Amino acid sequence: PAALPAGSCFAIPTNKTIDVRLLTGATIFGLGWGLTGICPGPGLYAASAGVMDSIVAWMPSFLFGSLVGGKIVEQVW
């Protein structure tokens, strides 16, 4: 495995609380994945590799969802 860059660290989360914020985020993530049919990781890879379906359909949806999610977090949390 590759080493982490100097000065950075990796920590395993210890919070085990299942709350409304977690469930809401998981639901939105799952709906987006289900509606587009592609996970964000492979979607970013496909877009960067020049796959037109990903660039034309998936990338705008991903960016719009990120924008809306950010606005919801600003308003609610």
- 42-64: pLDDT as tens digits: 988 998 999 998 888 888 888 88
Q: What's the token pair of residue 25?
A: 């985020």
Q: What's the token pair of residue 14?
A: 């210890």
Q: Residues 43, 54: contact at Cβ < 8 Å?
A: yes
Q: How many CA atoms lie within 13 A of 69 on its CB side?
A: 16
Q: Residues 54, 38: contact at Cβ < 8 Å?
A: yes
pLDDT of residue 77: 67
Cut 0.85: pTM above it: no
pLDDT of residue 54: 86
Tokens 């592609």 sit on residue: 38
